[in-house]
Amino acid sequence: MKLRHVALPLLASLALLSACSKEDASAPAARAPTATANAPIAAAQALDVLAAQGKGFAAGKILSANAVYVLFDPQCPHCARLWEASMPLHGSVKFIWLPVAIMNAKSAPQGAAIMTSTNPVQAMTAHETSLLTGNGGTAASADIAPDVLAAIKTNTALLERLGATSVPYIVARHQRSNEVVMQAGANDTQALASFLGIGQP
């Protein structure tokens, strides 16, 4: 009976999170490289590996030494909701958004367009607004520069090496416990702040 009491709150808390997975995808996505660096990434090394190998754009408190990494697919509506939830925290948190391509054929081109924009934060906001209003997101060319496509494929490989099966996927250092924390799925601003250990926004 005790086990049931523990399991119910856990299931309830998991139900609050929303995420997009490969199973949700409607078309083949850009495949991750099958290079030698396919080993799983341990939680203790996750931040260092993402800092060294991930490519994306920064939003929020740019000069903060403590970065929060978010792996996202531009076609994922839950990623769009997490983007909106993160906005009130931009004054106290540096987010690094790493585009991946697991949803469909639009994922990589849209990720490339946002990442290479002269103002990625503005481009991301416009894209996510379009996505959430049912307009499909930013119009983007399928002709992607090889280095940008390689970066998105590397990000996708990092997602897989972290053991994640859905996006958005957050990797951060909890500001109170100093432990590396990881989470799949979107939540509201207050829950995100609590997850990151920064208190009330």
Whether residue 24 has pLDDT greater than 90 = no
CA atoms within 13 A on the CB side of 92: 12
| Amino acid identity at 145 | A
Mean pLDDT of 70-96: 96
Q: What amino acid occupies position 189?
A: T
> What mean pLDDT value characterizes the chain?
85
Q: What is the largest CA-CA distance in the chain?
A: 58
Q: What is the pTM of this model?
A: 0.84
**Where do the domains of the chain lie, and which CATH numbers do they carry?**
21-196 (3.40.30.10)
CA distance 100 to 111: 7
Percent of the chain with pLDDT over 90: 74
Q: Tell me how far apart the terminal alpha carbons of the chain are, to the nearest angstrom.
A: 38
What would the pLDDT profile of 138-185 be if each residue is shown by its tens digit? 889 989 999 999 999 999 999 999 999 999 999 999 999 999 999 999
Residue 168 preceded by cis peptide, ω within 30: yes
Q: DSSP string of 73-103?
A: -TT-HHHHHHHHHHGGGTTT-EEEEEE---S
Dump pLDDT digits (tens) for 85-104. Answer: 999 999 999 999 999 999 99
Least confident of 16-30, 38-52, 78-92: 16-30
Which residue, chain included where needed, has tokens 């208190």?
199
Q: What is the DSSP letter of 33?
A: P
